[in-house]
Amino acid sequence: MEDLEQLIVCGGCNAKIGPGDLGDLLADLPKATSDKLLVGFENTDDAAVIKISDEQVLIQTLDFFPTMVSDPYLFGKIAAANALSDVYAMGGTVLSALNIVAFPEEKNLLILKEILRGGAEKVLEAGGILAGGHSIHDHSVKYGLSVTGTAHPDEVLMNNSGQVGDHLILTKPLGVGIITTGFSVGEISQESFEQATNYMQTLNKYAMDVMKKYPINSCTDVTGFGLLGHLHEMLHGELSAEIDSQRLPFIEEAYYGAKEFILTAGGQRNRNYLSEFVSFEIDDFGIEELLFDPQTSGGLLVSVPEEVVPKMLFELKEKGIFAEDFGQIIEKTTNEIIVK
């Protein structure tokens, strides 16, 4: 195949509208009242859940964004993994997917073919059916999927049902927003970039396949709002959490990049919105930025009872799946999230 021009790096989940602005936009929209809609947008959860029968629900989600890496094939894989993740975060199985494409009219269509190839491979890996999609011309490249999954009603996981005493587990390290941004301007090594993109293109299916054997109280995936934003949603104004910064999983060069002020616009939006909910009992700007950093195709954030943590982590790591216990849900205090 002829050499293709590289994509311009301009987004990923860093392009996501900030959590404060998004909440204000959705607040006054008309809301469905159907008893079949078990989870809708008012829940700020990862996907909609619609009851089909006493034995089955449909999980519906949609996710797309501009490019965060320059390689079209890699971009397709990451964007698809990111979109598919919402089904896993709800405890479901992927059924089908549709492509969502925006592509400049003047660009070589072979670039688009590579993006779609990467996405198709991930849908197949997920066990889903890629059933078509929709494309438009636009001034910048954007790609993602509309995904439908299924689950039993009793097995649906929510992002706001954690319990006091639950431990917090994260299944991918933080820092991919800082890494991809820094790499695009030559400030991050190829090795760390490859480490980040390997995690980004990994389906959260594998972690959930193990974790669903255990009692999960709450689950979400960490994407554009950063770890703190998605943890804030999990606590839903009723609980607090403590984070142990010594156990926080991150890509090492992302930490040093943050200390050298390799920052993202999305990270600063997250900081502006979330600062009132967070108390830092440490003096470490790098850790702060990692916690606010928008993640593209980030890991699952899961709250589970303390007694299952050792066995769950052992099984995950035995299967070569990344997972770290980094904090705990506690009774509500003045500070919603405390970073120790």
List, as residue ranges, the binding site for ATP: 16, 43-45, 63, 86, 133-135
Binding site: residue ranges? 16, 43-46, 63, 86, 133-135, 221
Question: DSSP for 95-119?
Answer: EEEEEEEEE-TTS-HHHHHHHHHHH
Candidates 7, 9, 13, 178; catalytic one? 13
Sequence letter at residue 53: S
- Beta-carbon neighbour count of residue 151 at 10 Å? 18
10 is catalytic: no
Give the closest residue to 304 by CA, choosing from 218, 206, 207.
Answer: 218
Catalytic residues: 13
